[in-house]
């Protein structure tokens, strides 16, 4: 029991001391041995198998409990304690190689109190110092050795003294210069990372090949760097980011100047760095990095603080395990272990059915998380997620967290498999099941009414002027419309009864609905919002079947140019669910059945696929119609099947992609010249 009156800060210090003291008292010798076994198991999975079975936060917490115990019970210290070695274990698949100078790990701090404590220790060694701060990249450490300006060795950190010789793999990393201007022998240390977008591509490819996916970019980087086949490493687009030097003869007095010189040799700079004079400035750049962490191309897990004066670094030296002049200021945890309590289904406005995991409430970086996205049922099957499973969830920024790993070794038999649904949880209609995609196609499903009406009224469809999102939501909320069909039962009297609907506005809406009647039939098909059926496919269906498209068979639909089996299945399932609605709308709107077009005369664009981009002398819609009359197919995206890219001013990414694929690119003028 504490006696007296304390300030909030003093009470916080007392409680932290008590918590720390309680931890020491509660860990006995057997607990200590069990903790060592658990840490070594975690370490084996992380460093050797590249298959983490816990989060950094759980590991760090247990590790620091072991450190506390060993400090108070030095005679109990075990030789296999993870505190007695630095880094990971050398794989037997590579030749072992010694570093010229030791690669040290860093002491961790987690908050401003930890920073203050470290600064007090550091200032006791030297008061006249500043601090160099840079991101702590979350990847795999690498040591590069250059002699006479040539890269001669690339070595993983290993145990800090001896690593794995992976020079051939390192040479495939484009951000590692093969030669540099500095001719003396030098060790350049850094982190090998995989950028987030590249990580997504790698996992997508592995998924397609039925291979196990990587849990996170850090493990992907480590696994890619240590491939026996260097061509696999080359395919992974690894990035090397230097953070320091080992043996060297450089004469810079400040680390910040030395690193600036290293960058000038052709190495990639970090996204942020700063030289700080005191704790306030250190906290400022730390908070900036925490704020920016989700916008970086690579993963970060903290900020490294080093004394900037190199002479002071030398004087301060090292403990048995870590340098006294540097520390890692870790970011708040974004990975946590929790339990899957339930899986619920959400139906989006497009009808897509998405499973969402309800998890045990878990605090991640100050936010209590109770839900995690699962994307689709293929992901549930791939990761083998079950009810009552213990899982690792990752939260990044403000987006909904996601499950990145199932801890199958924690299962106790109470887990329940998740059954794939066949009907919509909102309206009970049959779901379109395409493996990855589950979709409710019922136009009258309450979950998708507003969005289906918005699409129905959009410019490429029936172009109903005045039917914006706010008006549609107001009509739906009031109960005046429950489906697309209800739009045409609206009257002036009904609209005027709603708040905010004046006579002119209401009459304009009714006139727009009336004007939608008699549209081209392809617009009618397009307005239905059939999955995978856009403007081009709608025109194809209209031209081939006219009003009879609702009775077309799968074989007949597949026989149409540009329509595959997946598109045909989508049409058939949509018609099954919405046959009555389609019939009603067709009776109301009386769309114009297409007249068979005369076959276009021979010309350079007949039977070809073209893409339009940039600003032209006429609207792209007009030019598109002209090309279609010439027998061309006009697509919205560039692919290997594209024959021509036709561009105007300010052509952007489509032009770049076309050039990279070798697609013939024509200006508008060149296109017209081909027709003369």
- Give me the active site residues, please: 136
Phi, psi of 461 (to 5 degrees): -105, -110
Q: How many Cα atoms within 13 Å fall on the side-chain side of residue 378?
A: 11
| Integer Cα distance of 674 and 629 in angstroms | 15
CB contact at 8 A, 387 and 343: yes
Query: In this structure, are strands 386-387 and 96-98 parallel, antiparallel, or unpaired?
Result: unpaired
Q: Which helix (H) or strand (E) holds 583?
A: helix 565-589
What is the rounded distance in angstroms from the CA atom of residue 410 to the CA atom of residue 412?
A: 7
Q: Under 8 Å CB-to-CB from 524, ≥6 apart: which residues?
A: 462, 542, 585, 586, 589, 591
Phi, psi dihedrals of residue 477, rounded to the nearest 5°: -60, -35
Cα separation, 77 vs 84, in Å, equals: 9
Task: State how far the alpha carbon of 391 is from the alpha carbons of 37, 54, 335, 357, 409, in Å.
Answer: 21, 9, 10, 11, 11
The answer to whether 490 and 480 have CB atoms below 8 angstroms apart is: yes
By the 8 A CB rule, do 151 and 144 touch? yes
The torsion angles phi and psi of 373, rounded to 5 degrees, stand at -70, 145
Residues 6+ apart with CB under 8 A from 424: 347, 353, 430, 431, 440, 442, 445, 447
| Cβ-based neighbour number of residue 43 at 10 Å | 17
The C-alpha atoms of residue 137 and residue 244 are separated, in whole angstroms, by 13
Q: Distance between CA 676 and CA 670 in Å, rounded?
A: 10
Cβ-based neighbours of 108, under 8 Å, separated by 6 or more: 60, 64, 302, 327, 328, 330
For residue 418, give the 3-state DSSP assignment.
coil
Burial 633-644 (b: 16+ CB within 10 A, else e): bbbeebeeebbb
Contact 614, 650 (CB under 8 A): yes
Please state, in angstroms and rounded to a whole number, the distance separating the CA atoms of residues 674 and 17. Answer: 82
């Amino acid at each position: 029991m504490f006696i007296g009156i304390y300030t909030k800060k003093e009470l916080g210090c007392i409680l932290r001391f008590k918590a720390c003291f309680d931890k020491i008292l509660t860990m006995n010798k057997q607990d200590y041995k069990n903790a060592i076994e658990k840490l070594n198991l975690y370490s084996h999975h992380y460093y050797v198998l590249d298959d983490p079975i816990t989060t950094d936060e759980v590991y760090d917490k247990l590790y620091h409990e072991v450190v506390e115990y060993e400090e108070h019970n030095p005679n109990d210290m075990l030789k296999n304690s993870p505190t007695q070695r630095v880094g990971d274990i050398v794989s037997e698949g590579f030749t072992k190689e010694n570093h010229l100078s030791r690669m040290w790990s860093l002491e961790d701090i987690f908050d401003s109190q930890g920073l203050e404590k470290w600064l007090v220790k550091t200032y006791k060694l030297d008061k006249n110092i500043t601090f160099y701060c840079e991101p702590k990249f979350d990847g795999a450490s690498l040591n590069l050795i250059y002699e006479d300006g040539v890269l001669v060795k690339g070595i993983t950190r290993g145990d800090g003294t001896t690593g794995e010789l992976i020079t051939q793999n390192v040479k495939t990393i484009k951000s590692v210069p093969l030669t540099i201007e500095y001719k003396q022998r030098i060790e350049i240390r850094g982190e090998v990372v995989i950028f987030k977008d590249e990580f997504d591509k790698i996992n997508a490819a592995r998924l397609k090949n039925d291979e196990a996916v990587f849990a996170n970019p850090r493990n992907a980087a480590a696994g890619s760097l240590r491939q026996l086949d260097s061509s696999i490493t080359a395919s992974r687009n690894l990035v090397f980011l230097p953070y320091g030097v080992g043996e060297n003869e450089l004469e810079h007095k400040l680390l910040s100047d030395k690193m600036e010189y290293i960058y000038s040799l052709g190495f990639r700079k970090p996204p942020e760095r700063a030289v700080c004079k005191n704790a306030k400035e250190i906290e400022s750049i730390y908070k900036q990095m925490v704020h920016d962490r989700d916008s970086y191309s690579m993963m970060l897990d903290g900020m490294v603080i080093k004394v900037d004066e190199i002479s002071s670094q030398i004087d301060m030296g090292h403990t048995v395990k870590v340098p006294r002049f540097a520390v890692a200021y870790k970011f708040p945890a974004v990975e946590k272990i929790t339990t899957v309590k339930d899986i619920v289904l959400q139906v989006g406005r497009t009808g897509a059915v998405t499973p969402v995991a309800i998890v045990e409430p878990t605090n991640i970086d100050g936010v209590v998380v109770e839900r995690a996205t699962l994307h689709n049922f293929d992901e549930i099957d791939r990761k083998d997620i079950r009810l009552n499973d213990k899982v690792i969830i990752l939260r990044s920024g403000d987006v909904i967290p996601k499950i990145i790993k199932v801890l199958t070794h924690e299962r106790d038999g109470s887990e329940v498999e998740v059954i794939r649904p066949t009907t919509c949880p909102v309206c009970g209609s049959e779901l379109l099941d395409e493996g990855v995609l589950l979709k409710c196609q019922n136009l009258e499903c309450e979950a998708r009414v507003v969005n289906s009406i918005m699409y129905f009224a959009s410019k490429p469809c029936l172009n109903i002027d005045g039917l914006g999102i706010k008006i549609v939501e107001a009509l739906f909320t009031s109960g005046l419309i429950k489906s697309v069909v209800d739009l045409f039962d609206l009257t002036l009297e009904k609209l005027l009864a709603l708040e905010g609907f004046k006579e002119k506005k209401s009459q304009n809406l009714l006139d727009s609905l009336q004007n939608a009647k008699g549209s081209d039939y392809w617009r009618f098909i397009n307005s239905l919002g059939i999955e995978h059926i856009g403007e081009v496919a709608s025109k194809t269906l209209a031209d081939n079947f006219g009003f009879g498209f609702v009775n077309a068979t799968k074989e007949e639909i597949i026989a149409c140019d540009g329509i595959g089996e997946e598109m045909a299945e989508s049409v058939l399932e949509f018609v099954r669910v919405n046959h009555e609605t389609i019939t009603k709308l067709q009776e109301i709107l009386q769309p114009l059945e297409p007249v068979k077009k005369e076959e276009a005369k021979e010309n350079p664009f007949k039977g070809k696929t073209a893409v339009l981009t940039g600003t032209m002398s006429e609207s792209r819609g007009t030019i598109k119609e002209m090309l279609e009359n010439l027998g061309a197919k006009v697509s919205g995206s560039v692919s290997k099947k594209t024959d021509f890219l036709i561009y105007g001013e300010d052509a952007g990414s489509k032009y770049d992609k076309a050039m990279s694929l070798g697609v013939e690119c024509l200006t508008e003028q060149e296109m017209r010249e081909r027709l003369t």
